[in-house]
Amino acid sequence: MQKLFFRLIINAVALWVAITFVPGITPVGGSLSWVEYLILALIFGLVNALLGRMLKFLTCLLNVVTFGLFTLLINAGLFWLTGLIGSYLRVGFTAEWWSALIGAFVISLVSAILSLLLKDELKGKKKDS
């Protein structure tokens, strides 16, 4: 349960960075609160878990041929879909295609950095005092 909580926080922070700093991504209603970012992170996690794995499996040969770059296009589509689903719940965002591509890259980068910083917490290990 703790790992899920940390993943949700990491996704919320990564979404905040992408929505705040990537031009062309605008939140629905002007700005989002942290609760709305957590809801959006939950949507993002569900979209990635349900569709992301299936799409990456179906396009694995294309990913091999493009040296994994096609994964970035899949992630951009999933990021855009997250904003669309969130918009129906009034916690989403709108993004142009290039902004979604950059936003997906930013989310991957921020998520990887935060996962490295919190790797002990994500594994469930306690740090020595």
φ/ψ bin of 29: left (φ > 0), alpha (ψ from -120 to 50), beta (otherwise):
left
- Beta-ladder partners of 27: 93
Task: Check residue 105 and give its pLDDT.
Answer: 95
Task: Check residue 20 and give its pLDDT.
Answer: 93
- Beta-ladder partners of 94: 26
Q: Specify the 3-state DSSP secondary structure of 25.
A: strand
pLDDT above 70: percentage of residues in the chain: 95
- For the cut 80, the answer to whether the pLDDT of residue 70 exceeds it is yes
- pTM for this predicted structure: 0.87
* Residue 128 pLDDT grade (very low, low, confident, very high; cuts 50, 70, 90): low
The Cα 69–Cα 75 span in angstroms is 10
Task: Check residue 32 and give its pLDDT.
Answer: 84
The Cα 34–Cα 74 span in angstroms is 26
* Residue 62 pLDDT grade (very low, low, confident, very high; cuts 50, 70, 90): very high
Least confident of 13-27, 61-75, 100-114, 115-129: 115-129
The Cα 129–Cα 126 span in angstroms is 9
Task: Check residue 19 and give its pLDDT.
Answer: 93
DSSP helix, strand, coil percent of the chain (3-state; round to 5): 75, 5, 20
